[in-house]
Amino acid sequence: MINLTFDTKDLQRLEKATRESRRKLPRELSIAINATAKKASLEMSKEVRTELAASAKAVKTALKITRKAEPNSLGSTVTLKRQNRIPLRDFKANQTRTGVAYRISKTDGRKTVAGAFQGPTPKARLARWRGHVFKRKGRARLPIVKLFGPSPWGVFVNRKMDKPVAARVEQELSKQINRRIQFNVFKASQLT
């Protein structure tokens, strides 16, 4: 859980600007908080991708803004789902003679799952497999299991990425409040 604080002077300046522009303070704060929540989601994704060699699209599936700020409830929640493990195909998986090669960490090299195979990509036979990586459970042809890499949540928690993200998001909140102040000052100048 990341809790953010902001300068009360900024809040007082925003209150004064909203009075002059005849707008409502809670609405302006909710706009700033929602913009900050979007930035927090982006920052969390970037931080996870500093460790994982996965695409932004693959990491984004685990991130969601579960609660948006409204004028009557000024708070927003960005959730990193706990169970969403990224499929191994999203780690640049390639079929080789011995199995499937992949790269999970940006600091480590490629590894190979011996005996694994990759499903065909779309527009080929069994397109529903979509290039995922599978491995047989025993010596028989069936059953097969789909292979996954780590979850973004696990990487975020184990690497203690919450503090650097919180610092950047707190700066973003201050920036968004200042944007709302400038907007309200501009609206007030148009009214006079």
Enumerate the domain spans of the chain: 8-84+152-191, 88-146
What percent of the chain lies above the pLDDT cut of 70?
91
pLDDT band at 83 (very low <50, low <70, confident <90, very high): confident
Q: Can you read off the two tokens belonging to residue 136? A: 């047989």
pLDDT tens track for 126-176: 555 678 899 999 888 889 899 999 999 999 999 999 999 999 999 999 999
pLDDT band at 21 (very low <50, low <70, confident <90, very high): confident
CA dihedral 33, 36, 38, 39 (to 10 degrees): 180
Q: Which pLDDT score is estimated for 123?
A: 52
DSSP code for 42: H
Give me the long-range contacts of 140-143 (CB less than 8 A, separation at least 24). Answer: none
Please state the pTM of the whole predicted model.
0.82
Q: Mean pLDDT of all residues in the chain? A: 87
- Alpha helices by DSSP H, listed for 5-161, are 8-21, 25-49, 56-60, 152-158
Cβ proximity of 187 and 23 under 8 Å: yes
Give the separation between CA 32 and CA 19, rounded to whole angstroms. Answer: 17
Residue in the structure block whose two tokens are 């409830």:
73
